[in-house]
Amino acid sequence: MDYSIVITIVRYVLGTIGYWMILKKCGDKPYWAAVPVAREYHIGKCAHMEEEARTFTILTLATYVCQIIMAFLPDGSLRENLVSILLIAIGLASAVYMIRIFLGLCRVFGRRKLWVVLFVLLEEPAALIWGLSKKFVPNRQIEDFSKAEGAKLAGVDAKPLDKGLTINIQDRTVVDFFKKKYLLRDIHMNIPTGHMVLLLGGSGAGKTTFVNAVTGYEKARAEIRLNDQNVYEDYASMKYDVGFVPQQDLMRGNDTVARTLADAATLRLPSSVHSKERWERVKKVLEEFGLYAVRNSLVEKLSGGQRKRLSIAMEYISDPSLFILDEPDSGLDGVVARSLFEKLRKIADEGKIVIVITHTPDRVIDLFDDVIVLAKDNLRTGRLAWYGSVEESYGFFGKNSMEEILLSINQKEEGGEGRANEFVEKYADHIQEKAG
Amino acid sequence: MNEKTNLRHTGHISQTVIYLGKLFRMFIFQNDWKVLPMSAVIAGLVSFAVGRNLFRTMEGTLTGTFALSCVCIWNGFFNSIQSVCRERAIIKREHRSGLHISSYVAAHLIYQSILCAGQAVITITVCSVLGVAMPSKPLVTPWPLVDLAVTLFLITFCADMLAILVSSVAHSTTTAMTVMPFLLIVQLVFCGTVFPLPEGVSWTSNLTISRPGLTALCAQGDYNDLPMVSIWNSAVKMENVEINGIKPVQQALIYIQENNLQEDFMKKTAEKNQKPEYAFDPEIVKSSWFMLILWAFIYICGAVISLELIDRDKR
**Residues B221/B227/B232/B234 CA torsion (nearest 10 deg):** 20
The closest of A49, A184, A180 to A103, measured between CA atoms, is: A49
**Which of A234, A250, A298 lies nearest to residue B93, judging by beta carbons?**
A250
Cα A158 from chain centroid? 25
Q: Which helix H or strand E contains A105, and what residues bound it?
A: helix A78-108
pLDDT per position as a tens digit, B233-271: 888 888 888 888 888 888 888 988 888 888 888 888 888
Question: How far, in Å, CA of A398 to CA of B194, rounded?
Answer: 79
Cβ neighbour number for residue B153 with a 10 Å cutoff: 23
The answer to whether B2 contacts chain A (CB < 8 Å) is yes
The answer to whether A296 contacts chain B (CB < 8 Å) is no
Q: What is the DSSP letter of A233?
A: T
The answer to whether B7 contacts chain A (CB < 8 Å) is yes
Question: How far, in Å, CA of A20 to CA of A2, rounded?
Answer: 28
In this prediction, residue B6 carries a pLDDT of 60
Question: How far, in Å, CA of A364 to CA of B197, rounded?
Answer: 69
Distance from CA of A255 to the nearest CA of B (A): 7
Question: How far, in Å, CA of B102 to CA of B176, rounded?
Answer: 21
pLDDT by residue, tens only, chain A of 436 residues: 678 888 889 999 999 999 999 999 999 999 999 999 999 999 999 999 999 999 999 999 999 999 999 999 988 888 888 899 999 999 999 999 999 999 999 999 999 999 999 999 999 999 999 999 999 999 988 877 766 777 888 888 888 888 899 999 999 999 887 788 899 999 999 999 999 999 999 888 999 999 999 999 889 999 999 988 899 998 888 888 899 998 888 999 888 999 999 999 988 888 888 889 999 999 999 998 899 999 999 999 999 889 999 999 999 998 899 999 999 988 788 888 899 899 999 999 999 999 999 988 999 999 999 999 999 988 889 999 999 999 999 999 999 999 999 999 998 888 889 899 999 999 999 998 888 7
In this prediction, residue B1 carries a pLDDT of 41
The answer to whether A330 contacts chain B (CB < 8 Å) is no
Q: Which residues pair with A130 in a beta bridge?
A: none
Which residues in chain B are closer than 8 Å to A269, comparing Cβ atoms?
9-10
Q: Which helix H or strand E contains A59, and what residues bound it?
A: helix A50-72
In this prediction, residue B315 carries a pLDDT of 59
CB within 8 Å of chain B, chain A residues 71-130: 78-79
Cα B189 from chain centroid? 14
Determine whether the interchain pair B98/A78 forms a contact, defined as Cβ–Cβ distance below 8 Å: no
**Which of B11, B21, B29 lies nearest to residue A271, judging by beta carbons?**
B11
B214 in Cβ contact with B69 (< 8 Å): yes
CATH class of A164-435: alpha beta
The answer to whether A227 contacts chain B (CB < 8 Å) is yes
Sketch the domain layout of chain B as residue ranges.
Answer: 12-227+276-312, 229-272
Question: How far, in Å, CA of B99 to CA of B78, rounded?
Answer: 26
Structure pTM? Answer: 0.83
3-state secondary structure chain B: CCHHHHCCECCHHHHHHHHHHHHHHHHHHCHHHHHHHHHHHHHHHHHHHHCCCCCCCHHHHHHHHHHHHHHHHHHHHHHHCCCCHHHHHHHHHHHHCCCCHHHHHHHHHHHHHHHHHHHHHHHHHHHHHCCCCCCCCCCCCCCHHHHHHHHHHHHHHHHHHHHHHHHHHCCCHHHHHHHHHHHHHHHHHCCCCCCCCCHHHHHHHHHCCHHHHHHHHHHHCCHHHCCCCHHHHHHHHCCCCCECCECHHHHHHHHHHHCCCHHHHHHHHHHHCCCHHHCCCHHHHHHHHHHHHHHHHHHHHHHHHHHHCHHHCCC
Cα B55 from chain centroid? 17
**Which of B18, B25, B30 lies nearest to residue A267, judging by beta carbons?**
B18
Q: Nearest residue on chain A to B90, judged by CA atoms? A: A250
The answer to whether A239 contacts chain B (CB < 8 Å) is yes
Per run of 10 residues, the mean pLDDT along chain B (length 315 residues) is 61 90 86 88 91 87 91 94 93 90 96 96 94 90 94 97 96 93 90 80 87 93 87 86 86 88 85 87 95 96 95 75
Distance from CA of B69 to the nearest CA of A (A): 27
The answer to whether A240 contacts chain B (CB < 8 Å) is yes
The answer to whether A237 contacts chain B (CB < 8 Å) is yes
**Which of A208, A250, A315 lies nearest to residue B315, judging by beta carbons?**
A208
Determine whether the interchain pair A241/B10 forms a contact, defined as Cβ–Cβ distance below 8 Å: no
Distant-in-sequence, close-in-space partners of A118: CB < 8 Å, separation ≥ 6: A125, A126
The answer to whether B93 contacts chain A (CB < 8 Å) is yes
- Using left for φ > 0, alpha for ψ between -120 and 50, and beta otherwise, residue B34 falls in alpha
Sketch the domain layout of chain A as residue ranges.
Answer: 3-132, 164-435
Q: What is the DSSP letter of A88?
A: H
Which residues in chain A are closer than 8 Å to B93, comparing Cβ atoms?
246, 250
In this prediction, residue B7 carries a pLDDT of 66
Question: How far, in Å, CA of A239 to CA of A235, rounded?
Answer: 6
A41 in Cβ contact with A56 (< 8 Å): yes
Q: Nearest residue on chain B to A261, judged by CA atoms? A: B18
The answer to whether B89 contacts chain A (CB < 8 Å) is yes
* Residue A214 burial (10 A CB sphere; 0-12, 13-18, 19+): buried
The answer to whether B4 contacts chain A (CB < 8 Å) is yes
Question: How far, in Å, CA of B158 to CA of A165, rounded?
Answer: 49
